Chain A
Amino acid sequence: MDPVSRILLDHGSGGRIAHRLLRDRVLPVFDHPALAELNDGAILEMEGVRFAFSTDSYTVDPLFFPGGNIGELAVNGTVNDLAMCGARPLFLSAAFILEEGFPLADFQRILDSMAQAAKAAGVAIVTGDTKVVPRGAADRLFINTSGVGLIPPGIRVASRRAQAGDRVLLSGSLADHGVSVLAGREGLAFETSVQSDTAPLHRMVAAMLEAGGEAVHALRDPTRGGLGTALKEIAESSAVSVVIHEEKIPLKPEVAGLCELLGFDPLYLANEGKLVAFVHPEAAEAVLRAVRSDPAGKDAAWIGEVLPGPPGRVVMQTRIGGQRIVDMLAGEQFPRIC
């Protein structure tokens, strides 16, 4: 085939091809050490104060899905990105790109749920922007949120800090958001009881850091690209080998059933209210207790550990006793043809 000369949807899938776009085109141009770390946000220090700064844009389809909408997602997503840097989120911006003709009532509903989500998370939306583009120039509504948060002294969370011996924690059931969005999408309407897991995680993180301090080495919220991609990113950043155990990964039966029906791998579907943590074993029990004390973390489980082995490798022990390699998502998953 001819070389790729245009942006493809896969460039936005959060997987391998998106990484290559970042590595080959974005990072060399902007060239900054905080950016090159590829954490969920930039971890910065000025005049002795450490803080995190993060941004994310939201283009989810459908805008309203079982268990939430784009507005809540936009607040919780940035709150969570800051939390994954070990920061206490403080202030958010919100920018809207609206398509001409978008129903005002829907816009109001989305604004209201953003306000509610911000209040629940204890953050303030303090600046913003609104743009309207002609019909067809955008798909209904896109939202960008950015945020800043303070990193408490003594906290050193980073995706390159996982080390041999660490235990790997997942804060709850896998792939709920990915399945709820699929269920609401045009052309794939089916009845499901699965709700999006969208939730702010900063209080959970604060409790974890309180309980474990520096023993909490790395945090990530497995959104686009799913758990598989998140684990692979940390394994590569930290140059460690990770083993996870299929039978220990919490997965709702209805999520498992739907994934099987469509041929999707839940390891690569999005989560919006879950985190994966790499924790030194000495603090493991205290950290688990802290996670479980949060309503979004009651189903938390240890799903694996960091073992000596080739750097960057992630292996899953399957439930039936076999082994398989876990790689990053290669591109958006599609239902299978048979």
Chain B
Amino acid sequence: MVTRRNDEYRDATLVGELAARIRRLSRRPLRIMEVCGTHTVSIFRHGIRSLLPETITLLSGPGCPVCVTDTAEIDACIALARRPEILVATFGDLLRVPGSRSSLERERASGADVRVVYSALDAVELARRHPGREVVFLGIGFETTAPTVAAAVLAAHRSGIENFSVLCLHKTVPPALEALTALGDLRIDAFLLPGHVSVVIGRRAYLPFFERTRLPCAIAGFEPVDILQAVAAIVGQAENGKPALENAYRRAVAEEGNPAAQRVLAQVFAPADARWRGLGVIPASGLAVRAAWAAFDAARRFSLTATPVPEPRGCSCGEILTARKTPPECPLYGSRCTPGDPVGPCMVSSEGTCAAYFRYHDASAGG
């Protein structure tokens, strides 16, 4: 479209040169997982797959926060929304995510007070304006979102707002990478590492993971040129047999990340075990509200317990998130499971692998 923003990162000539370089460099098949949902969407929106040689396969990983949220956690959100004293504040992405019987969108249609907000601070403002209601913010997201939620808790504390709490379902990326590569039958040759998350945690945060696996890695931005540069770097590493942890998004990602954001996050949250859809429980891969802030922890405040729920029958979200299946290989894809009527979470979020496939899949792939 006719825009000026980010033009140099969408320059067709530059993109063409990068694609040609990748074609020249690439000899053997390479399966690259993009961990981040925003990468998945950018790849589909710009039609990047159609520019890559057949040797390169891009796989979408567990990098969409909504998609890796466990069914039992969604059920917990729904249970909160059903309590008459509670106003649930959430990012819109969560509304359509199916729990085992219902969704927040359907609860809202049945009378639950569910409000879409654009930041956790908006939820604090709702609490201030509705002193008679219990406002619970659904804290979902990676290291990118978690510091803003931590900041909201601090803001509520400073303003003496007592009817605000957070259901903390946050997850962190490096432990998930570890868990992914620990899976037995995984076929991933390289990782395209997230951009926004890396802005917060820095290149340094991936060093232990890289040292253990020695798989080619590159941190990438979100524009076509950023992504292709990172893919070219990965292909170069793989072809030369010299894996590295490259920062191909230097204009935004520093070695040590954003210390201020890390401090706020660590002040309010502590690492905790978390259950990921498709990956199971990963040690220290989630965040929990520290005891000092227990008053703001919705799980404690409303004595929530998550009962494990089986995933919907036939749903392959687990295999899709771990690149053991592509969306069209799921028996439900496109028939029983569509963005308008999703069965699994990968079809719900705009960044979900299945939803992105469904909306944007390359024209060359038919359809």
Contact = CB atoms under 8 A, between A and B. Distances in A.
B2 A336 contact: no
A247 B364 CA distance: 20
A320 B98 contact: no
Interface string B116-140: 1110001000000000000000001
B16 interface: yes
A1 B142 contact: no
Given A16-B339, A324-B47, A331-B96, A337 B3 contact: no
Interface in B103-158: 103, 105-106, 108-110, 116-118, 122, 140-142, 144-145
Interface core residue of A249, A250, A319, A333 (most chain B CB under 10 Å): A319
A1 B109 contact: no
Interface residues of A, number: 50
Contacts of A249: 1-2
A325 B106 contact: no
Given A1-B101, A1-B103, A320-B10, A334 B3 contact: no
Contacts of A188: 118
Contact of B145 (A4, A10, A323, A337): A337
A11 B141 CA distance: 27
Contact of B47 (A263, A318, A332, A333): A318
Interface in B335-353: 338-341, 343, 349-351
Interface string A107-118: 000000000000
B91 A325 contact: no
B93 A260 contact: no
A68 interface: no
A169 to B, nearest CB: 15
A20 B340 contact: yes
Contacts, number: 169
Nearest to B18: A320
A17 B362 contact: no
Given A1-B103, A253-B4, A257-B5, A323 B363 contact: yes
B106 A4 contact: yes
Contacts of B37: 336, 338
Interface core residue of A2, A327, A330 (most chain B CB under 10 Å): A330
Contacts of B66: 337
19 contacts: A1-B343, A4-B341, A9-B109, A15-B340, A16-B340, A247-B12, A251-B3, A257-B3, A320-B12, A320-B15, A321-B12, A321-B15, A323-B362, A330-B340, A334-B92, A337-B66, A337-B91, A337-B141, A338-B38
